[in-house]
Amino acid sequence: EGQPQLREVSGIPLQASTVDNWSQIQNFEAKPDDLLICTYPKSGTTWIQEIVDMIEQNGDVEKCQRAIIQHRHPFIEWARPPQPSVLVLCRRFFLVYFKGVEKAKVMPSPRILRTHLPTQLLPLSFWKNNCKFLYVARNAKDCMVSYYHFQRMNKILPDPGTWEEYFETFISGKVAWGSWYDHVKGWWDIKDRYQVLFLFYEDIKRDPKHEIQKVMQFMGKNLDETVLDKIVQETSFEKMKENPMTNRSTVPKSILDQSISPFMRKGTVGDWKNHFTVAQNERFDEIYRQKMEGTSINFFTEL
């Protein structure tokens, strides 16, 4: 037994269970009307998925909850075993416990799928079908902090060790789904060649309505102001922290131990300042410059 180990595919560390399903993932058949939500872990995946679901259901919370039970939320299976849950491609949980690829296959179109895969590992059919990609990026410092706390409480990921140790692990990309730098650069680089809506966690935080409107347009929907306002409200951190469909409270403690750190932890921009020492920050900025040299992408690290 011992510690959960990561295994590499083309140099990208992944959870062993994802690697076990690798050929199935690579051969996944995308459809032209698929919308794929893409993120590096801890960048606001749950948040953007909730936003997309709410838009899809025209802001109807009830319908949204039902749709989540039917199509999205795998953890409901833990709470209520007979519920058939569907989705999702390439998410480690789904592959481990829920055969995400199999379930995505039988999902009605238009499908909303999600993945943490970097561009070079994405199943080719997504490119061939010119699918819509919705990428959400979060600044590396906050992402690192969030991932650290997530690995502390997530019992199927390796123990992160001390903060000092994790700092090096993250920078070297030896975490599940690989290097933050490569992931973000990879998706940023292809964004003008495909149908990509590239969003930033910090922008959604600063002006949620504006960003939600962009998502709505990207999805080809047209919702009126009151519905948009409602979606802003329902997808706030405070609401989502209380919502059992989003706060992972149905996941057993043996998998996510929320007494160590809650899944809906802080939901802020700039928490890195409570973790980075001055020396770490300087080292980080230097390495960041090297790794991100030549890219035009720009992040806010505070609001």
Among positions 13, 44, 100, 118, the unique one binding ligand A3P when judged by CB under 6 A: 44
Where would I find the H helices in 92-162? 92-97, 100-105, 124-128, 140-153
Q: Does 264 bind ligand A3P (CB under 6 A)?
A: yes
> Which 198-257 positions form the footprint of ligand A3P (CB under 6 A)?
235-237, 240
Q: What is the spatial distance between Cα 151 and Cα 135, in angstroms, rounded to a whole number?
A: 22
For residues 22 and 8, the answer to whether their CB atoms sit within 8 Å is no
How many chain residues interact with ligand A3P (CB under 6 A)?
20
| Interaction residues for ligand A3P, span 112-151 (CB under 6 A) | 142, 146, 149
Q: Which of 28, 47, 126, 272 binds ligand A3P (CB under 6 A)?
A: 47
Catalytic residue among 71, 73, 116, 183: 116
Cα 17 to Cα 127: distance, rounded to the nearest angstrom? 25
**Taking the mean position of all CA atoms in its chain, how far away is CA 39?**
4
- Of 196, 88, 211, 189, nearest to 134 by C-alpha is 196
CB-nearer residue toward ligand A3P: 107 or 143: 143
Question: One symbol per residue from 61 to 80: x for binding ligand A3P (CB under 6 A), - otherwise; what is it?
Answer: --------------------
DSSP 112-127: EEEE---GGGS-HHHH
Q: Is 193 left (phi over 0), alpha (psi -120 to 50) or beta?
A: alpha
43 lines the binding site for ligand A3P (CB under 6 A)? yes
CB of 29: closest distance to ligand A3P in angstroms?
A: 26
Which of 218/272 has CB closer to ligand A3P? 272
Asked if residue 113 lies in contact with residue 104, where contact means CB atoms within 8 angstroms, the answer is yes
Q: Does 267 bind ligand A3P (CB under 6 A)?
A: yes
For ligand A3P, the closer of residues 41 and 100 by Cβ is 41
CB of 39 to ligand A3P, least distance (A): 5
Q: What are phi and psi of 68, to 5 degrees?
A: -65, -45
Select the residue interacting with ligand A3P from 15, 46, 119, 139 (CB under 6 A): 46
* Integer Cα distance of 72 and 52 in angstroms: 12
Nearer to ligand A3P, 238 or 286 (CB): 238
**Number of Cβ within a 10 Å radius of residue 23:** 7
| Nearest distance from C-beta of residue 290 to ligand A3P, angstroms | 25
Distance CA 176, CA 162 (A): 17
Token look-up 């749709």 returns 67
At position 23, the amino acid (one-letter code) is S
116 is catalytic: yes
Among the candidate windows 6-14, 45-53, 63-71, 175-183, which touches ligand A3P by CB under 6 A? 45-53
Q: Which residues bind ligand A3P (CB under 6 A)?
A: 39, 41-47, 142, 146, 149, 235-237, 240, 264-267, 271
The residues annotated as belonging to the active site are: 116
